Structures are given as C-alpha cells and as structure tokens.
Amino acid sequence: MDGGSGVFAVSVFADRDAMLAANAYAKAWAEPNLGALLTAAPEVKTVAVTVHLDAARQGQDSYVLVRMTEGLGPSSALLPTVQERLVPLTLEQPGFRHLYSGRDEAQGDLAVSVSVFSNRSTAIAAHAQVAALMARHRDLWPKPARIVLSGEVLAAAIAEKADPHL
C-alpha cells in the first residue's frame, strides 16, 4: 500500500463458488504461514461485478486504486449515467488498464471499484476526473468516492481456465 502500511489483494473470479473455494484455500494457507506478520484480521469485501472494463492496450507496470462510494440508490438509476458518461471517461484516461465495480453484498448502498492504471500519477489523475463527474451528479452519487487502498502491483496472475483438480 502507499506509505508502506500494509498489503492488500484483489481477486476476481468467474463465479461465487470459485471465489469462496479460493478464499478458503488462501485463508488456510495464510494463517499458519503469515499469521505472525498480521496485526489484525483481514477485511474482506465481496462484490458482484456489474461493470468490467479492459483497456484496448495493456501494459506491464500497474498501480491499483480501490474506491468506495456510499449512499447509492438503486442500480437502475445509476446505470444509464455510468454507461453514457462514466465508462467513456474511464476508457479515455491515459494509463487505464482495468476496472471492476459492483455493489458490496453486505451493504447494498456501497459500491466498490477496483481500477488498474499504468502508474500512480495516471491513477490519481483519473480518480480526480471521475470524482469531478460524480460531484456534478450528486443526485446519483450523494457522497464522494473515497480511495480506501492504493499501491503498486507487486504480483499479478491471470488464469484463463481453472484446473478442476486444485
């Protein structure tokens, strides 16, 4: 994380069952192997991704921003503005790589967005653009999006198809 105050992981799965199985596997490994390094229990947010964007051009270096926005109304009221304004704005940002966004399963008025950019400066600049758009639409986004985690990607893995024997 920025400032060296910890680490975070973001995982995206094709379905909920795969996510639950992978989380249980990771937890069973992490407790005996990393338990002495942890100062608090990990916080887990589970989000059904409703918006997923990938950049046309990918790159190697990456920086991740995790944002949360509270106080949201129904998705049906947000989606037209997201599709018409927020998606194009995001896709045109320099250094954009990926976006995953959806509602928190435990708190329905909370959206979690994970954005991946080429580096910190492009991520922060893009966040400012998105925050400005959201501020112009306080009827849809009554509270500002806040960055809750950010940092450089230290390790990344992409699985095209899961091995059913793992």
Q: How many distinct structural domains can be found in the chain?
A: 1
Residue 127 belongs to some domain of the structure: yes
Residue 58 belongs to some domain of the structure: yes
In contact, 84 and 118? CB cutoff 8 Å: no
Residue 2 belongs to some domain of the structure: no
State pLDDT tens for residues 76-95: 888 899 999 999 999 899 89
pLDDT on residue 10: 81
State pLDDT tens for residues 88-114: 999 899 899 999 999 998 898 999 999
Residue 56 belongs to some domain of the structure: yes
In contact, 96 and 57? CB cutoff 8 Å: no
Residue 5 belongs to some domain of the structure: no
Tell me the Cα Rg of the chain. 17
Residue 75, pLDDT above cutoff 50: yes
CATH number assigned to the domain comprising residue 104 = 3.30.70.100
Residue 81 belongs to some domain of the structure: yes
3-state secondary structure of 121: helix
Residue 16 belongs to some domain of the structure: no
Please tell me which residue, 71 or 38, carries the higher pLDDT value: 71
Which residues form the domain of 138?
A: 46-152
Please tell me which residue, 108 or 154, carries the higher pLDDT value: 108
Residue 117 belongs to some domain of the structure: yes
- Which span out of 49-63, 116-130, 149-163 was modeled with the highest average pLDDT? 116-130
Using CB atoms within 10 A of its CB, is residue 75 exposed (0-12), middle (13-18) or buried (19+)?
middle
What is this structure's pTM? 0.83
Distances in whole angstroms, Cα of residue 133 to Cα of each of 15, 90, 138, 140:
31, 11, 9, 11
